[in-house]
Structure 1
Amino acid sequence: MKVRDVMTRPVVSIESEAPISLAIRLMLQKKISGLPVVDPAGNLVGVVTEGDFLRRAETGTQFTPPRWLEFLMGPGPMARDYVKAHGRRVSEVMTRDAKTVDEDTQLNDVVALMERNHIKRVPVLRGKKLVGIVTRANLLRALVSALHAAPAACSGDVAIREKIFRELNSEKWAPVATIDAIVRSGVVTLSGYVLDERQRTAIKVLVENVPGVKAVHDDMVWIDPVSGVTIESEERLRNPH
């Protein structure tokens, strides 16, 4: 899936020379936490977010460094912080080096960009022009659509079991040689053993995602590789048989 498939357009943006009061009102009215900032020609020049208004003189939250840090920082960074706390125009408080993508960027690359830079939104450009924005909310909506678009169920228990083991064989963490799956009328019973409790959870999630599976019963045991202690599943402890 690409950015063009999920991005929001048209974009609510603000010009760089607009007053910060307008930016704040827009964010509150539109219930968004950030705005792309553009020049009069519509070219992206930065992003302004709620975080840019956290350290403000008006609320008494401006950053006041201790004297020893003032000496280390020097006048430049202190002047920058002063502008951030007192600036009245968007251009004075915005983040200038905004991370961007184009419409053909894969969503996987967008997520990696968000995680790497700890950001919640990425402007979408066509050349220098702002044409959209992709946010975490856009990704959630794409996920909901994908969850509703369920793949066709496997036809019959044999096909379900074959699909389970194809999926397990494709995962490096899966202990395929030590587990088994019995399928009856779409209900899967897992048996065998794992050497890490996290494998148990992952196996159950994998099986639950196989089309046609109606329920999963966990009869697997966990063998601690250090002590050799065997621990049965919670389901088996609740319903011994």
Structure 2
Amino acid sequence: MKDMPEKKLSAIEPFTDILIVDDTPANLLLLVKMLTDRGCKPRSFLSGELALQAARAEPPDLILLDVNMPEMSGYEVCEQLKADERLKNIPVIFISAMSETIDKIKAFAAGGVDYVTKPFQLEEVEARVRTHLELRRLQIQLEKQNRQLKDNYDHLGKLEELQDRLTHMLVHDMSLPLNGITGYLEKLEMDPGKKLTGDQLETLRNARANGLVLLGMINSLLDLPVVCNRGRCRVNK
């Protein structure tokens, strides 16, 4: 391991839960100390199986994962993580002595987000951890905003449906008595038994005509979508 100059430590984010998986105790101790000094809450495991059990019991924020381990390789561990609905979005950073391109390709194919070669520098590990924690935080924030947008859209749909029902009820409640009034006026106009003067007959005709115009305006509300925003409504023609 390369000796690094002393550097002032800065917290990543208090109590960030990071799972470290490596079958070499010295590597675990080094990474645990570095992350603890930076305010994290690291959990270390010597085998992939134990790490999987711990992740399923309490999903971490990020995982540092060795590749070459007995019984279960880091690739297999990562594939199982990505197959689990609760764990698939946890960032996995591989840390391995294998530096060939094919090894890195396998790591990314298994679902890793980054790859650090051994012997590693603590500053590099810290920088990559910070980067992927921030990316994960932004991803969670975006998912939350998308859910909120969907909820708002669904709520808007329900409001529009309610508005449509209320419009139909209003049109029905207004047109029903108006139909009765215009019908009665027509009956008066056509009744030969009623002795009406010319002015009275003209008044009846005007009243009935105006009633029919008003009835048409009321019924046309069903064909005009109303858009409301912050208590103000406009009709889209």
TM over 0.5, yes or no?
Answer: no
**Which structure has more RCO (C-alpha within 8 Å, separation ≥ 6)?**
1
Q: TM-score, normalised by structure 1?
A: 0.23
More helix by share: 2
Rg (Cα) greater in structure: 2
More strand by share: 1
